[in-house]
Structure 1
Amino acid sequence: MSGRAPARRAPGPPGALDLDYVLPLRWTDDAGLDELTAYLRRLSRHARVIVVDGSPAELFGRHARRWQGVVRHVRPASGLCCANGKVAGVTTGLRLAAGDRVIIADDDVRYDLPGLAAVHALLADAELVRPQNYFAPLPWHARWDTARTLLNRSLGADYPGTFGIRRAFFLRMSGYDGDVLFENLELIRTVRAHGGREARPLGLYVRRLPCDTRRFWSQRVRQAYDDLARPARMAAFLAVLPALALVRRPRRLLACAALAVALAEAGRWRAGGRRVFPVTGSLLAPAWIAERAICSWLALGAALAGGMPYAGGRIRRAAHSTRRLRRRVRLAGGPEAAGLVGAVTERLGRRQAAPAQRDRRAAGVDRLPVLGEQLEGPP
């Protein structure tokens, strides 16, 4: 492992975007290694790719051999301790990025070149960009989870597995808290608390691979636990089952189901969503609401028992409130002086664990018109 990183910005392929791509990874098996490797090879033609790999030693070594010369492959920084390992991976990657415009993406996110170019362009005017994920292919459980996406879109915006962020801004706010379960919401709220602007392009669609059925079932209660960070939403779901017990007339139940479908359809029609979201996602909205209502009570029980099980331990807090994050910024003397995890991020070295990616062939970039773009300033 090299002890230091290059002092200058690593050159990319001629004509490629001045963009870094950070992929935090922790695998326990390599079932999807071939597909991910092919994606990383395509991706490395257009961006500098950093894979922060927290996998066990055997898998890490295999990844290093497969990705040699394609990506920069590193371990999460040893000085950064977070209950949520993804935050450690993201923070490590942001510290190592060469440029200011960076994409963070889970291992199941699949960008194409227009998507990369659109995020890159939006980062010119925003500190955080929140694209919209959609599932492809569409097994039954992906259609089921699409209902959640559509309901979120109808009421505002969804929470994707990828963001664009300005590296200088991220370092200025000293990262974000890694001891929470809903790390995406924590990042959004932290950027807002520091005065950052958030772009929410509802029409910027980025494909996401669906998980297997086993993982889908394992995430039901965990995703419901995230709503503890949004008390009004949690209260609404907790009220569903008591309300259904009171509303016994079939016509009223059908009316409630129709309202849920209409709400989901409103999200599907926003910003050209019908191109990527199936109508079955809307039709499954009542079933998804019923599932979330049940899992919300289970999540509340987990909270009373000490937190949600995660990676061999428990995480109690879903995410910090915006009010609390703003108070931290004020107590630290404003956005420039604030630091949520500054003490640990300062110990991060700009280290390299695998050979840097090589130059690839030139690639032309066409700017993609983004449908339904929203630019949100600090509250």
Structure 2
Amino acid sequence: MPDRSASRATPLALTYVLPIAARTSQARALTGYLRRLARTVDEVIVVDGSLGETFEAHARSWSAHVRHIRPEIRTTNGKVAGVVTGVRAARNECVVVGDDDVRYRRAELARMLRLLQTHEVVRPQNFFRPLPWHARWDTARSLLNRLGDGDWPGTLGVRKSVLVEAGGYSGEVLFENLELVRTMRAAGGREAVPLDLFVARRPPETRHFVSQRVRQAYDEWARPGRFAAELALLPAAVLAGRKGPGWLLAAAACSVAAAEVGRRKGNGRAVFPASSALWAPAWLAERAVTSWMALGTRLLFGGVRYRTSRLRNAATPEHELRAKLQERSATEPA
């Protein structure tokens, strides 16, 4: 009989890329996770855009276990520089990219590897652990997104050859995960969105959560139909309120019911508590206001603030990416 314990101990043929750019050392938060990853997958690459002493502190903590490198390129959205550098440096065809708050287990990485055998890009689903109030609030967004084409997590799986062949992806957009997926699809890649593949994510600090509200609403410039629907939330609520509070209560009840459907899809009840759907009215009320703030940000300032600059574009339309790749292919020598 095969030795199952030996099989479990064999590193998965994956490269794990973690892009980071921290102001202070993240050694305490990440060292244990990186060591566990190094025992689980064939290769771990930390692409570190941190400066000075912070980079050196990370090198001392991590270099014995992972490849700790600097970004080779510069982009306005710094995460993209880290991802592209890490994917290019990977020695495996199958690559998992994860933000610094993502926490994979072996079983989830093994399934990502299996999916990458038949797909070029894989989008799993995140859930927050632990669950402070603002994580419960944001979980409602995830549940509503699961009604459609799934939520957008802080991690993706990609096939290296397809992304390298496409020349990477734009680092001048805000919604970088959507840009990456669209680029992979424009290059002919197949996308998998397993609604039952759940990967834990650490919630942000409350201050950071608050600072992301308008920025997340601005992401929807990349999906005009969805953005228009979110802009319609506020006038719809005003009209409903004029008809009486019962209309608002009915709308809130419908949003809870919709979120509950999202919670039940893909065995979501395994990771999303039963109370999660109750936060849907709060999240929709937030988005009803922040969508208009995002619109004002675009019209008045030309884009949303990202670190020390502003980004105008949320993501590139997929037909434009496809046209650019076709033009590039036509001009390259045979």
CA spacing shift, 1:69–1:153, aligned 2, 3 Å: same
The residue matched to 1:293 in structure 2 has which SS?
helix
Q: Give 1:34's aligned residue.
A: 28
Which amino acid counterpart does residue 327 of structure 2 have in structure 1? L
Q: Give 1:213's aligned residue.
A: 206
With the length of structure 2 as denominator, give the TM-score of the two structures: 0.94
Deviation at 1:289, TM superposition (A): 0.6
Structure 1 spans left out of the alignment, 5+ residues:
1-12, 339-379
Deviation at 1:35, TM superposition (A): 3.0
Structure 2 spans left out of the alignment, 5+ residues:
1-7
**2-side partners of 1:218 and 1:255: how far apart?**
30
Deviation at 1:333, TM superposition (A): 3.6
Superposed, 1:51-62 pairs within 5 Å as 51-62=46-57
Which amino acid counterpart does residue 323 of structure 1 have in structure 2? H
Q: Give 1:270's aligned residue.
A: 265
Q: Give 1:332's aligned residue.
A: 328
**2-side partners of 1:211 and 1:148: how far apart?**
15
Q: Give 1:222's aligned residue.
A: 215
- Does the CA contact (< 8 Å) of 1:143 and 1:278 recur in 2? no
The residue matched to 1:22 in structure 2 has which SS?
strand
The residue matched to 2:204 in structure 1 has which SS?
coil
What do the CA deviations read for 1:53-97 (whole angstroms, capped 9, x no partner)?
A: 0112110000000112111001111xx221100000000001110
Q: Give 2:110's aligned residue.
A: 117
The residue matched to 2:227 in structure 1 has which SS?
helix
The residue matched to 2:322 in structure 1 has which SS?
helix
Deviation at 1:98, TM superposition (A): 0.6
Which amino acid counterpart does residue 212 of structure 2 have in structure 1? Q
**1:87 matches 2:83:** no
Deviation at 1:337, TM superposition (A): 5.6
Q: Give 1:315's aligned residue.
A: 311
CA spacing shift, 1:142–1:333, aligned 2, 3 Å: same
What do the CA deviations read for 1:306-358 (whole angstroms, capped 9, x no partner)?
A: 11111201111000111211221232246x969xxxxxxxxxxxxxxxxxxxx
Give the counterpart of 2:94 among 98, 101, 104: 101
**2-side partners of 1:68 and 1:33: how far apart?**
11
Q: Give 1:128's aligned residue.
A: 121
Give the counterpart of 1:238 among 208, 231, 240: 231
Going by fraction, where is helix more abundant, 1 or 2?
A: 2
Superposed, 1:270-309 pairs within 5 Å as 270-304=265-299, 305-309=301-305
What do the CA deviations read for 1:131-181 (whole angstroms, capped 9, x no partner)?
A: 111000000000000000000001221100001111111111111111000
The residue matched to 2:13 in structure 1 has which SS?
coil
**2-side partners of 1:241 and 1:16: how far apart?**
51
| Bigger RCO of structures 1 and 2 (CA < 8 A, at least 6 apart) | 1
Task: List structure 1 runs of 4+ shifted beyond 4 angstroms.
Answer: none
Q: Which moved more, 1:249-258 or 1:205-214?
A: 249-258
Superposed, 1:241-260 pairs within 5 Å as 241-247=234-240, 248=242, 249-260=244-255
- Does the CA contact (< 8 Å) of 1:134 and 1:206 recur in 2? yes
- Does the CA contact (< 8 Å) of 1:23 and 1:105 recur in 2? yes
**1-side partners of 2:167 and 2:253: how far apart?**
46
Deviation at 1:14, TM superposition (A): 6.9
**1-side partners of 2:322 and 2:10: how far apart?**
41
- Does the CA contact (< 8 Å) of 2:149 and 2:193 recur in 1? no
Which amino acid counterpart does residue 27 of structure 2 have in structure 1? L
The residue matched to 1:44 in structure 2 has which SS?
helix
The residue matched to 1:24 in structure 2 has which SS?
strand
**2-side partners of 1:22 and 1:330: how far apart?**
28
Deviation at 1:278, TM superposition (A): 1.6
Superposed, 1:351-362 pairs within 5 Å as none
Q: Which moved more, 1:56-65 or 1:325-334?
A: 325-334
- Does the CA contact (< 8 Å) of 2:27 and 2:57 recur in 1? no
Give the counterpart of 2:145 among 152, 173, 181: 152
